[in-house]
Structure formats: structure tokens, C-alpha cells
Amino acid sequence: MSIQLSIRDLSKRYKTGEGVSGISLDVNKGELITLLGPSGCGKTTVLRSIGGFLEPDSGDILIEGRSVVKLPPEKRPTSMVFQGYNLWPHMTIYDNLAFGLKIRKMPKAEIRSAVEEVLRLVRLPGAEKKYPSQLSGGQQQRIAVARSLLLKPAVLLLDEPFSALDAKLRHEMREELREIQTETGLTMVFVTHDQEEALSLSDRIVVMNHGHIEQIAAPQDIYDAPETLYVAEFIGKMNFLKGGAQGDKLVVGRMEFPNAKHLTGEVVVAVRPEDIILEPGTSQAAGLPGTIKQMMILGHYAEVSIDLGDHGIIRAFQPRDKVKELQLGQSVNATFNKVIAYSNN
């Protein structure tokens, strides 16, 4: 698979001290990669640098093997879908879509058929004569995506494009974007702070924190094997307990797990709520004894909080049927299917 976008040692510092440093990333042709992180982590800085809206202090950006770092946005083979749609309110949808094609001096007949085709792709056929203000937020964002798709960019950049939409529409738009990406084979760089969006959309996720990359991996790998404590805290729900590394074993209470990372001394043990098994009563065999503090039914599963004494309070996801066996204040024994350990430094 060929590399479509290559970022090499990119750095950009703002006067406030924020920014990014030493960002290196290769994006394959036809891949949808997501830059994920909290506000101020530098994900938008990276995206805007790719689009040419920010000039990095150092580093290089190559698209299809050609350095674009000195080119202005209008000369780059990229197109960006902005957070606020940014359709031009004084132009009809047709004019909004045709604007870039007219600049490229495409014949009128070809522009018309290209606009019709892209409107079908984004499920808004016949919207040509409308003005942006006559469309809903979701429809406007579809037009913004269509405007970028028409230009057939080498890399499509999406800056939190669905953040202004309500939850249901956001979900629908994600599915539509994925379909469009599969259909067009476009390389996409997607920026979001919404981990659910990142996990559901991406071929790979780049988790960013304080201007640097914490981990680059497929969504399942990010979720199952977060490389750093930060990623473990940021992605999904996670419980953290104190544990110890003894040779090739990790010890958490009376439980033992393989010490795959060959850690030593005190460690932080992370366990997903769905990897916790609760059994009523106490057992001397394995697990950690605790008391149920709270139970919240969340549709098809329940979130149960258990007080483990010295180990603190952990949260476990339990099937609805299982919850029927549990009561508030009841003593339970918690065992873990699997854990991830981190050095305590």
C-alpha cells in the first residue's frame, strides 16, 4: 500500500506555549485516519498545517511524495471540511459546489453533471437552487463534504465536521462518511475529540496529548492494548488499581497475571469494566472481595460500582440478567478476565 501523506518531524509552537512537536505520521492511500485527543492537544494544528492554513516552525509534509509545506492552501492537493460547514451564504448550493470547479476551468456541462452526481452521493439530489440557510445543519454539512469531494483531493481533511450536529444525526453522518470513503477510496484525515466517533470510523487512530503522539494503532488495538497510561485513561472506561510485579507475574490482590511487559516493582493495573466478573458472596480462591455501592441500569447492561477497600472503588459492566442476582450493600468477589499493567513512574 503506497503512502499518500507523510508528516515528518512537524513542530509548531504558539506564543501561549501550546502547539505540537516532533509529529511524524504516514497515512496510506485510501486510509481513514483519525487524530484524537482533548482540546489543546494539537490535533487541529496538525490538520491545519496539512491544509496550509498554518505554517509549521519546522518539519515537512509530503503528499504523494511531493513536499507541500511551502505551498499556500489554494495550491495544495488537499481539501478541508470545516467544523462550522462554512458554506457561502450568498451562493446557491449549485454555486457553492461549482465554485472550485469553475476555478479549475472545468467546462460548464461537466460541472453540472459532476454537481448532480455528488448531490446524489450525499443524498441531496435536487438541492442545487437552494441557499445554505434553507438547509438543516446535517444537510449543510453534507454539502460541505460534497464540495470537498468534487475537487477529488489527494487527502481530504475533516476538522470535527459533525460536532455541531445532534447525537442521532452525528451517528448517521458517520455511517454516510464511511460509505462515501469506501465508495470513493479517498484518503481522509479526521480530527475529533469524540472517542466513539474515532473508534467507529477509523482505520487507524492517532491519540494525541500535549502536542505529541501517544499511540498510533487500529481502533481495536487502541482499545484492547493502550500503550500508555494516558491512552488507557482517555479511551473508553477503565479502572486503575495498585499492583506489583514479581518476576514473570503481576499480582493484584489474590489474582495473578502474566507480566508481558517485564515490569518491576509497584505497577498500575488497568482493567476494563466489561472484563470484571462479579460473584455474590466472598471466596478465598481468587479475586478481590468488595461491597456493591451503586447500580445503574443503562439499557441492555448495568454499571455496578464496587468498593474494594484498599483498592478503591471500581466500576463493572454486568449483563441485565446478572444484575438481578445482585443487591446494594451485598458482598461480592471481583475477578478480572484480563489486565493491562503500566510502570508506576
Partner 1 sequence: MSKSMKMGMLGLILVIPSFLLLFVIVVIPIALSFVESLRNEAGGFDLSRYQFLFTDKAMRSNIIFTLKVTVVSCLIVLIVSYSLAVYMRFSSGRLVDLIRKTYMIPIFIPGVIATYGLINLLGNHGWLSRFLLLIGITLPRIIFDEKGIIIANLWFNIPFTAMLLSSALAGIPNSVLESAKDVGAGRLRVFFQIVFPLSYKTFLVAATFVFMGVIGSFTAPFLVGPNAPQMLGVSMEQVFGVFQEREQAAAIAFFTFLLCSVLGYFYIRSMVKDETARS
Binding residues (CB under 8 A) for partner 1: these are 51-53, 72-75, 78-80, 82-84, 86, 88-90, 99-100, 103-104, 131, 133-134, 144, 147-148, 151
- Are 290 and 307 a contacting pair, CB within 8 Å? yes
Please tell me the distance from the alpha carbon of residue 63 to that of residue 10, in angstroms, as a whole number: 14
Check residue 220 and report its DSSP letter. Answer: H
**Distance of closest approach, residue 218 Cβ to partner 1, in angstroms:** 29
Check residue 273 and report its DSSP letter. Answer: G
Measured in residues, the chain has a length of 345
- Shortest CA distance to 171 belongs to which of 196, 142, 149? 196
- Are 241 and 271 a contacting pair, CB within 8 Å? yes
Nearer of residues 149 and 177 to partner 1, judged by Cβ: 149
**Distance of closest approach, residue 159 Cβ to partner 1, in angstroms:** 9
- Shortest CA distance to 334 belongs to which of 322, 324, 345, 343? 322
**Distance of closest approach, residue 103 Cβ to partner 1, in angstroms:** 4
**Distance of closest approach, residue 109 Cβ to partner 1, in angstroms:** 20
Nearer of residues 136 and 331 to partner 1, judged by Cβ: 136
Nearer of residues 133 and 345 to partner 1, judged by Cβ: 133
**Distance of closest approach, residue 44 Cβ to partner 1, in angstroms:** 12
**Distance of closest approach, residue 67 Cβ to partner 1, in angstroms:** 19
Q: Is 85 helix (H, G, I), strand (E, B) or coil?
A: coil
Residues 6+ away with beta carbon under 8 Å from 343: 261, 263, 267, 268
Nearer of residues 153 and 243 to partner 1, judged by Cβ: 153
**Long-range contacts of the stretch 309-313 (C-beta < 8 A, 24+):** 311/241, 311/242, 311/252, 311/253, 312/241
Nearer of residues 51 and 289 to partner 1, judged by Cβ: 51
Nearer of residues 74 and 310 to partner 1, judged by Cβ: 74
Check residue 92 and report its DSSP letter. Answer: -
Residues 6+ away with beta carbon under 8 Å from 108: none
Nearer of residues 131 and 301 to partner 1, judged by Cβ: 131
Torsion angles phi and psi, residue 162, rounded to 5: -105, 10
**Distance of closest approach, residue 185 Cβ to partner 1, in angstroms:** 21
